[in-house]
């Protein structure tokens, strides 16, 4: 359990909602019937700085997240690849700046590292603790198979131009320690790009499925920018991504960074979310309890989070659809639901599909109906639960 806020150290907080015994990790299991380790969600808001975090997180379970070759989201569709191109050009600023030497933290399958090399970067130092991926042999990428630590950065990268940390900071229980390392590693004038889920949008749109055990922290723009400013970084650009679901901050290391705040307040009203959680669960039960001829689309954390909430959904689902090759042929943790690749033949086995991969919902719905000719019911979850 986390006894105090990772940003300000305050131990007083406001309870938001609680769900017990959820799978610790969304990484699929290789065997049917294998027991997935579980932990508790106890989401709270710090009374002092407003940071939102999972007080129920147990740091000792981090090793369990990576022991099964943790494989996060990897780009598998044209739309996702194009989104990464746009992030590089616009949010990170490759369109206007040149970053010869880059450090990437949480490199996953090195796709973004290679993309940056294609955009003019000369060398990349990639940190990735998972053993699921192999570094491309021909690319000028130096690979450290470990969690980020500024003491592991070799001298040849001490003057790096840019550090990219996409969807990492929300997983870090020792936030102050991580921010201290980022501030210590960055030379004056170097850039830092941080991308995380946007907690303001999560609360505004009641995206219940965005709360899962792997995420310790839920950042609003104000809270994240304020924390980074205290460690010597000045916000150069703020970008909302994927319809507001994510946000990216491009920052510059300065001696006296200027404070930043968004044009309008993004501080969420956390008080109503407990009721929203129950309403979301009841909605799923009402539509799917007693049915046994439907599938879900998505084998990631959003799917695992939703299945942990709704018994009827978990018991009646035939299979999960996903295009990530690292997940196919395995099983969703906390269930015996197999993961299969979408096709016309496989979709003939079900009469409804619930799309739980909210980041990719438009293209998934399009592919279900146009590419694979699915004639059954299709339900979406973003920006709200409905038939599409």
Domain spans of the chain? Answer: 13-61, 78-253, 273-387
Domains 78-253 and 273-387 share a fold: yes
Closest CA to 237 of 98, 118, 87, 112: 87
Query: Quick one: DSSP state of residue 387?
Result: E
Q: Which residues pair with 172 in a beta bridge?
A: none
Q: What is the pLDDT of residue 66?
A: 61
What contacts 23, CB < 8 A, 6 or more positions away? Answer: 36, 37, 38, 213, 304, 308, 333, 334
Q: How many residues does the chain have?
A: 388
Q: Which residues pair with 286 in a beta bridge?
A: none
Number of H helices, E strands in the chain: 11, 17
Q: What is the pLDDT of residue 373?
A: 96
**Adjacency order of strands within the sheet including 386-387:** 339-340, 317-321, 294-297, 352-355, 377-380, 386-387
As a whole number of angstroms, the distance between CA 198 and CA 371 comes to 31
CATH architecture of 273-387: 3-Layer(aba) Sandwich (3.40)
HEC string of 149-215 equals CHHHCCHHHCCCCEEEEECCHHHCCCHHHHHHHHHHHCCCCCEEEEEEECHHHHHHCCCHHHCCCCC
Query: Quick one: DSSP state of residue 108?
Result: T
As a whole number of angstroms, the distance between CA 224 and CA 222 comes to 6
What predicted TM-score, i.e. pTM, was given to this entire model?
A: 0.91
**Do strands 191-197 and 246-253 pair parallel, antiparallel, or not at all (unpaired)?**
antiparallel
Q: What is the pLDDT of residue 278?
A: 87
Closest CA to 89 of 221, 229, 261, 250: 250
The answer to whether the CB of 294 falls within 8 A of the CB of 350 is yes
Q: What is the pLDDT of residue 136?
A: 84
What contacts 4, CB < 8 A, 6 or more positions away? Answer: 10, 11
Q: Which residues pair with 279 in a beta bridge?
A: none
Tell the burial category of 328 from Cβ atoms under 10 Å away from its Cβ (0-12, 13-18, 19+). Answer: middle
Q: What is the pLDDT of residue 357?
A: 92
As a whole number of angstroms, the distance between CA 170 and CA 371 comes to 35
Q: What is the chain's pLDDT, residue by residue, as a tens digit (388 residues)?
A: 999 999 999 999 999 999 999 999 888 888 888 888 899 999 999 999 999 999 999 988 766 666 555 555 666 678 888 999 999 999 999 999 999 999 999 999 899 999 999 999 999 999 998 887 888 887 899 999 999 999 999 999 999 999 999 999 999 999 999 999 999 999 999 999 999 999 999 998 888 899 999 999 999 999 999 999 999 999 999 999 999 999 999 999 999 999 887 766 666 778 788 788 888 889 899 999 889 999 999 999 999 999 998 888 888 999 999 998 889 999 999 899 999 999 999 999 999 999 999 889 999 999 999 999 999 999 998 888 899 9
Q: What is the pLDDT of residue 71?
A: 55
Distances (CA, A) of 172 to 90, 131, 169: 26, 19, 5
Q: Which residues pair with 45 in a beta bridge?
A: 14, 52
What contacts 332, CB < 8 A, 6 or more positions away? Answer: 26, 28, 29, 299, 303, 304, 307, 320, 339
The answer to whether the CB of 334 falls within 8 A of the CB of 311 is no
Task: Return contacts of 166-169, CB within 8 angstroms, 24+ apart.
Answer: 166/106, 166/112, 166/193, 166/194, 166/195, 167/72, 167/73, 167/106, 167/195, 167/196, 167/197, 167/246, 168/105, 168/106, 169/194, 169/196, 169/217, 169/219, 169/224
Q: What is the pLDDT of residue 25?
A: 87
Work out the number of other CB atoms within 10 angstroms of the CB of residue 206: 18
* CATH 3.40.50.10490 fits domain 78-253: no
Distances (CA, A) of 354 to 56, 187, 198, 297, 350: 29, 47, 23, 6, 11
Query: Which residue stretches of the chain are H helix?
Result: 62-67, 78-86, 111-118, 175-185, 199-204, 221-230, 273-288, 301-309, 311-316, 344-347, 361-366
């Amino acid at each position: 359990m986390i006894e105090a806020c990772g940003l300000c150290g305050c131990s007083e907080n406001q309870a938001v909602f609680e769900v017990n015994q959820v799978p610790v990790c969304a990484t699929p299991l290789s065997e049917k019937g294998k027991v997935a380790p579980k932990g508790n969600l106890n989401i709270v808001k710090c009374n002092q700085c407003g940071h939102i975090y999972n007080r129920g997180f147990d740091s000792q379970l981090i090793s369990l997240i990576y022991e099964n070759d943790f494989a996060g989201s990897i780009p598998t569709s044209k739309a996702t690849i194009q989104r990464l191109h746009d992030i590089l050009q616009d949010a990170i600023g490759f369109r206007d700046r040149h970053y010869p030497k880059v450090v990437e933290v949480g490199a996953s399958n090195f796709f973004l590292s290679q993309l940056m090399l294609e955009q003019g970067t000369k060398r990349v130092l990639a940190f990735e603790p998972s053993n699921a991926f192999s570094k491309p042999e021909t690319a000028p990428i130096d690979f450290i198979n470990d969690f980020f630590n500024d003491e592991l950065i070799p001298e040849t990268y001490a003057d790096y131009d840019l550090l990219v940390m996409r969807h990492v900071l929300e997983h870090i229980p020792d936030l102050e320690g991580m921010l201290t390392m980022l501030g210590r590693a960055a030379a004056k004038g170097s850039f830092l790009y941080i991308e995380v889920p946007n907690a303001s949008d999560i609360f505004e749109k009641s995206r219940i499925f965005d709360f899962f055990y792997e995420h310790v922290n839920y950042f609003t723009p104000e809270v994240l920018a304020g924390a980074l400013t205290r460690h010597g970084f000045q916000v150069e650009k703020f970008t909302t991504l994927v319809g507001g679901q994510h946000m990216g901050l491009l920052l510059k290391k300065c001696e006296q960074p200027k404070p930043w705040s968004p044009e309008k307040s993004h501080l969420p009203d956390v008080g109503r979310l407990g009721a929203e959680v129950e309403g979301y669960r009841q909605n799923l039960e009402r539509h799917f309890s007693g049915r046994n001829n439907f599938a879900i689309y998505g084998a990631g954390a959003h799917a695992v989070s939703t299945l942990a909430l709704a018994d009827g959904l978990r018991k009646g689902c035939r299979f999960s659809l996903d295009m990530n090759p690292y997940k196919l042929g395995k099983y969703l943790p906390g269930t015996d639901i197999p993961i299969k690749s979408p096709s016309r033949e496989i979709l003939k086995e079900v009469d409804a599909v619930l799309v739980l991969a909210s980041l990719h919902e438009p293209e998934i719905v399009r592919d279900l109906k146009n590419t694979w000719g699915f004639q059954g019911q299709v339900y979406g979850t973003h920006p709200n639960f409905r038939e599409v």
